[in-house]
């Protein structure tokens, strides 16, 4: 089974999770007590408890009791597994630094508790296909603990696609929502770990979502729950084909393969349509064309950037509900002819399209109207450059004065880590520009050998092996007693845990066990795809493609001296006054030269122009 495991970290991660799980439970007909009359593929998102209740495959971590308590007071209080909710005593207080929060150490109690939860989640799954971590990059705990979690997950799940749903600091400092002043530090210190240990990251920014609420919904004062609802709808859309019947199965591994062409250039964003305010539902009746078009304009983007200057590197479109295929084919054809939508040269699959037969759902206590059809785009584009460049500017403003640095150093961070992280950010910026600051093209190194670099857990795994074996043996005995023959799924789990060698060879040796996974009841095509270890979608979709995207290897508080306080105040003032140099950014983006330097396409494609590279993925759509 292709289970999706979800981890929610910090206030933002947990609050988004609360809304997302409410929606997912509704979509699958899960009742407040965990029962479900009938639904497809429940096991993808839910595990079955001893009382036959469906329990979300979700864990929650925070240092704030209020956030944790909100879970236990909310609509999910009876369905969540309390053993997977953990309140930590190590308070981050907005500072990414404490080793207890950011680094895995088996002697540390919180590390062991997190490890225990991860282990429980993995043991309850036969063959997890994806791990999603929800968090904010700006907060201390959400950013720091995500680094620890990724380190922890790394050895255990080297072959599982790991992605983050990350709230990125807004480019506009318009005080819409309280944001920690040190958010550039927290974000910049987290980015190297995200680049190294996760496969891709979906960025959202609150200002962009706020704008969507104001422009489209005429909300004067949206709050976090509205923004979280928007994020939840996008996550529901992009995971729909794994959960419901549709035109084709596009799982997170496929998204990675199709959208990420270069290691570390892995920051995606989403857009969604339509969001309609309940009071206006009788006025607004958009058709399929309006809905699809608005995915590409400013009104649908959940990350801020200028749509006139960015170039797409790929996009996946997810439709739900009443979307007749002939009409959809026509709409996509029209979109392809639009001159405003520009793809970087060398882009392989421009529009990967997936239609689900599931009907769109809306949550009852939110002012969003239900509509018969919805569209969502998961996109990769040079638009993210604006977020990174704005972050770099704000980081430089604070760091040039060494403002607040003493807080971090006091928590045990070496100051050199700031400059290393800054270099890492610079590398990301250059990757998106396609060339170094000196104009030379970038040579991209493959991701470092994760298992070697983060191999600190090997020893611990060896120590824990007997215990795990015991757990598995009990499980095995129970199965033998029950069925006289263990289920295929359990054999897979046993193979994974008993053989604690996570080398590539060992993984390949376990292939027969993996091959026994029950395929989803989808189309013949889907089954073919789901059974292949590494589907090469792009090749399947068009044999004319020349360059395949590179397959990634699965891949104490201190007393601040008065002097420093003054410097901090000056920095805050300067930071607040710093205008967001949107115009300048736009100009830079126009000159980014992305296409030229990164382009390795043959001449014939150049002559036809970017549009010629947009492969028609939708023409083959049909329900099977
Ligand atoms: N979209 C969204 N953003 C949020 C939410 N809660 C907080 N944020 C944003 O997240 C950032 C702060 O991160 P938090 O998640 O509150 O902080 P934390 O990770 O718990 O870290 P500490 O406060 O240091 O414990 C700010 O930019 C907030 O605007 C939420 O529910 N939804």
pLDDT tens column, 476-510: 444 444 443 333 332 222 222 223 332 334 334 43
pLDDT the model gives residue 206: 92
Closest residue to atom 25 of ligand 1, CA basis: 141
Q: Could you give the count of Cα atoms lying within 13 Å of 250 in the half-sphere of its Cβ?
A: 30
- Each residue of 115-154: b (16+ CB within 10 Å) or e? bebbbebbbbbbbbbbbbbbbbbbbbbbbbbbbbbbbbbb
pLDDT the model gives residue 570: 56
Query: How far apart are the C-alpha atoms of 5 and 122, rounded to whole Å?
Result: 8
Q: How far apart are the first and last CA of the chain?
A: 21
Index of the ligand 1 atom closest to the CA of residue 143 = 19
Index of the ligand 1 atom closest to the CA of residue 91 = 25
Index of the ligand 1 atom closest to the CA of residue 177 = 29
- Say which range, 157-161, 198-202, 277-281, 533-537, has the weakest mean pLDDT: 533-537
Q: Is 553 near ligand 1, meaning CB less than 6 Å away?
A: no
Average pLDDT over residues 1-20: 94
Please name the residue that has the structure tokens 């006289």.
Answer: 484
Of the residues 9, 17, 136, which should be mutated to test ligand 1's pocket, given the most ligand atoms within 8 Å of the CB? 136
pLDDT the model gives residue 558: 32
pLDDT the model gives residue 538: 31
DSSP letter assigned to residue 551: P
Q: How many residues does the chain have?
A: 624
Q: Is 230 near ligand 1, meaning CB less than 6 Å away?
A: no
Q: What are phi and psi of 52, to 5 degrees?
A: 70, 15
Average pLDDT over residues 465-481: 44
User: Above 80 in pLDDT, residue 445?
Assistant: no
**Which residues 6+ apart lie within 8 Å of 449 measured at CB?**
553
3-state DSSP assignment of residue 586: helix
Q: Are strands 312-321 and 267-273 parallel, antiparallel or unpaired?
A: unpaired
Q: Is 12 near ligand 1, meaning CB less than 6 Å away?
A: yes
pLDDT the model gives residue 300: 84
pLDDT the model gives residue 281: 76
User: Above 70 in pLDDT, residue 42?
Assistant: yes
Distance of CA 19 from the midpoint of ligand 1 (Å): 15
- Each residue of 528-539: b (16+ CB within 10 Å) or e? ebbeeeebebbe
Index of the ligand 1 atom closest to the CA of residue 64 = 25
Average pLDDT over residues 344-352: 72
User: Above 70 in pLDDT, residue 572?
Assistant: no
Query: How far apart are the C-alpha atoms of 274 and 217, rounded to whole Å?
Result: 10
Index of the ligand 1 atom closest to the CA of residue 170 = 27
Distance of CA 527 from the midpoint of ligand 1 (Å): 40
Distance of CA 28 from the midpoint of ligand 1 (Å): 28
pLDDT the model gives residue 350: 67
Chain mean position to CA 544: 30
- Widest pairwise Cα distance in the chain: 74
Q: Is 142 near ligand 1, meaning CB less than 6 Å away?
A: yes
Q: How does residue 453 score in pLDDT terms, banded at 50, 70 and 90?
A: very low
Q: Is the dihedral of CA 325, 26, 146, 454 positive or negative?
A: negative
Closest residue to atom 26 of ligand 1, CA basis: 179
Q: Is 464 near ligand 1, meaning CB less than 6 Å away?
A: no
User: Above 50 in pLDDT, residue 34?
Assistant: yes
pLDDT the model gives residue 72: 87
Distance of CA 177 from the midpoint of ligand 1 (Å): 9
Q: Is 186 near ligand 1, meaning CB less than 6 Å away?
A: no
Query: How far apart are the C-alpha atoms of 479 and 456, rounded to whole Å?
Result: 34
What are the tens digits of pLDDT across the range 366-388?
889 899 999 999 999 999 999 99
Q: How does residue 263 score in pLDDT terms, banded at 50, 70 and 90?
A: confident
3-state DSSP assignment of residue 619: helix
Tell whether pTM > 0.80.
no
Q: Is 16 near ligand 1, meaning CB less than 6 Å away?
A: yes
Q: Taking a C-beta distance cutoff of 8 angstroms, is the pair 494, 476 a contact?
A: yes
Q: Taking a C-beta distance cutoff of 8 angstroms, is the pair 313, 378 a contact?
A: no
Q: Is 15 near ligand 1, meaning CB less than 6 Å away?
A: yes
Q: Per residue, what are the HEC states of 277-294? A: EHHHCCCCCCCHHHHHHH
User: Above 60 in pLDDT, residue 537?
Assistant: no
Closest residue to atom 31 of ligand 1, CA basis: 12
pLDDT the model gives residue 584: 41
Average pLDDT over residues 100-115: 85
Distance of CA 166 from the midpoint of ligand 1 (Å): 10
User: Above 60 in pLDDT, residue 241?
Assistant: yes
**Which residues 6+ apart lie within 8 Å of 14 measured at CB?**
8, 60, 62, 67, 68, 70, 71, 134
Q: How does residue 345 score in pLDDT terms, banded at 50, 70 and 90?
A: confident
pLDDT the model gives residue 466: 45
Q: Is 11 near ligand 1, meaning CB less than 6 Å away?
A: yes
Q: How does residue 175 score in pLDDT terms, banded at 50, 70 and 90?
A: low
Distance of CA 148 from the midpoint of ligand 1 (Å): 18
Q: What are phi and psi of 519, to 5 degrees?
A: -70, 155
Distance of CA 145 from the midpoint of ligand 1 (Å): 13
Average pLDDT, the chain: 74
Chain mean position to CA 419: 26
Q: Is 489 near ligand 1, meaning CB less than 6 Å away?
A: no
3-state DSSP assignment of residue 367: coil
Average pLDDT over residues 135-154: 93
User: Above 90 in pLDDT, residue 511?
Assistant: no
Give the tokens for residue 255: 């998204």
Distance of CA 423 from the midpoint of ligand 1 (Å): 25
pLDDT the model gives residue 615: 31
Better-scored residue on pLDDT, 515 or 294: 294
Beta strands in 119-251 (DSSP E): 130-136, 161-167, 200-204
Distance of CA 169 from the midpoint of ligand 1 (Å): 10
Q: Taking a C-beta distance cutoff of 8 angstroms, is the pair 200, 259 a contact?
A: yes
3-state DSSP assignment of residue 509: helix
pLDDT the model gives residue 472: 47
Q: Is the dihedral of CA 348, 427, 441, 393 positive or negative?
A: positive
User: Above 70 in pLDDT, residue 25?
Assistant: yes
Q: Is 146 near ligand 1, meaning CB less than 6 Å away?
A: no
Distance of CA 611 from the midpoint of ligand 1 (Å): 40
pLDDT the model gives residue 172: 66
pLDDT the model gives residue 387: 93
User: Above 70 in pLDDT, residue 534?
Assistant: no
Q: Is 585 near ligand 1, meaning CB less than 6 Å away?
A: no
The count of other CB atoms within 10 Å of the CB of residue 283 is: 8
pLDDT the model gives residue 174: 53
User: Above 90 in pLDDT, residue 171?
Assistant: no
Q: How does residue 566 score in pLDDT terms, banded at 50, 70 and 90?
A: low
**DSSP letters along 89-110, please?**
SS--TT-TT-HHHHS--TTSHH
């Amino acid at each position: 089974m292709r289970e999706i495991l979800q981890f929610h970290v910090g206030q933002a991660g947990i609050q988004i999770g609360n809304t997302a799980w409410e929606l997912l439970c509704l979509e699958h007909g899960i009742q407040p007590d965990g029962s479900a009359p009938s639904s497809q593929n429940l096991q993808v998102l839910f595990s079955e408890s001893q009382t036959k209740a469906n329990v979300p495959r979700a864990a929650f971590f925070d240092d704030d009791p209020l956030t944790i308590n909100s879970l236990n007071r909310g609509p999910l209080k009876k369905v969540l597994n309390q053993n997977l909710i953990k309140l930590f005593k190590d308070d981050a207080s907005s500072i990414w630094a404490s080793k207890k929060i950011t680094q895995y150490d088996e002697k540390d109690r919180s590390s062991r508790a997190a490890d225990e939860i991860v282990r429980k989640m993995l043991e309850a799954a036969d063959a997890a296909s994806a791990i999603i971590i929800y968090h904010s990059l700006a907060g201390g705990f959400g950013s720091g603990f995500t680094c620890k979690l990724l380190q922890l997950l790394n050895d255990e799940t080297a072959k599982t696609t790991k992605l983050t749903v990350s709230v990125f600091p807004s480019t506009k400092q318009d005080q819409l929502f309280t944001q920690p002043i040190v958010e550039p530090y927290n974000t910049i210190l987290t980015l190297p770990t995200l680049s190294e240990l996760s496969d891709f990251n979906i960025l959202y920014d609150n200002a962009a979502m706020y704008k969507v609420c104001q422009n489209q919904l005429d909300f004067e004062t949206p709050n976090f729950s509205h923004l979280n609802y928007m994020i939840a709808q996008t996550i529901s859309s992009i995971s729909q084909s794994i959960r419901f019947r549709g035109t084709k199965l596009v799982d997170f591994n496929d998204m990675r393969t199709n959208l990420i062409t270069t290691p570390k250039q892995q920051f995606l964003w989403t857009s969604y349509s339509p969001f309609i305010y309940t009071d206006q539902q009788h006025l607004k009746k958009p058709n399929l064309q309006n809905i699809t078009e608005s995915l590409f304009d400013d009104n649908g983007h959940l990350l801020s950037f200028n749509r006139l200057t960015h170039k797409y590197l790929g996009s996946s479109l997810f439709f739900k509900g009443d979307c007749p295929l002939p009409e959809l084919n026509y709409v996509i054809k029209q979109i392809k002819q639009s001159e405003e939508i520009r793809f970087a040269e060398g882009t392989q699959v421009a529009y990967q399209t997936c239609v689900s037969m599931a009907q769109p759902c809306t949550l009852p206590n939110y002012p969003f109207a239900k509509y018969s059809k919805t569209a969502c785009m998961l996109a990769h584009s040079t638009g993210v450059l604006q977020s990174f460049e704005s972050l770099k500017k704000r980081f430089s403003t604070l760091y040039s004065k060494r403002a607040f640095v003493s807080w971090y150093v006091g928590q045990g961070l070496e100051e050199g880590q700031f400059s290393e992280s800054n270099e890492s950010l610079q590398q990301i910026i250059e990757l998106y520009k396609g060339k170094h600051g000196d104009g030379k093209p970038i040579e991209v190194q493959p991701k470092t050998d994760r298992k070697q670099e983060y191999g600190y857990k090997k020893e611990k795994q060896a120590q824990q092996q007997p215990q795990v074996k015991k757990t598995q043996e009990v499980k095995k005995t129970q199965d033998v007693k029950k069925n006289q023959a263990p289920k295929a799924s359990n054999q897979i789990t046993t193979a994974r845990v008993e053989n604690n060698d996570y080398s590539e060879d060992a993984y390949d040796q376990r292939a027969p066990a993996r091959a026994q996974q029950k395929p989803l009841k989808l189309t013949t095509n889907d089954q073919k795809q789901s059974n292949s270890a590494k589907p090469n979608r792009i090749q399947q979709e068009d044999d004319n493609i020349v360059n395949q995207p590179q397959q990634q290897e699965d891949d104490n508080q201190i007393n601040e001296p008065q002097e420093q306080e003054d410097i901090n105040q000056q920095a805050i003032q300067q930071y607040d006054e710093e205008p967001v140099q949107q115009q300048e950014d736009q100009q830079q983006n126009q000159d980014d030269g992305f296409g030229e330097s990164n382009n390795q396409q043959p001449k014939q494609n150049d002559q036809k122009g970017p549009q010629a590279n947009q492969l028609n993925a939708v023409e083959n759509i049909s329900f099977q």
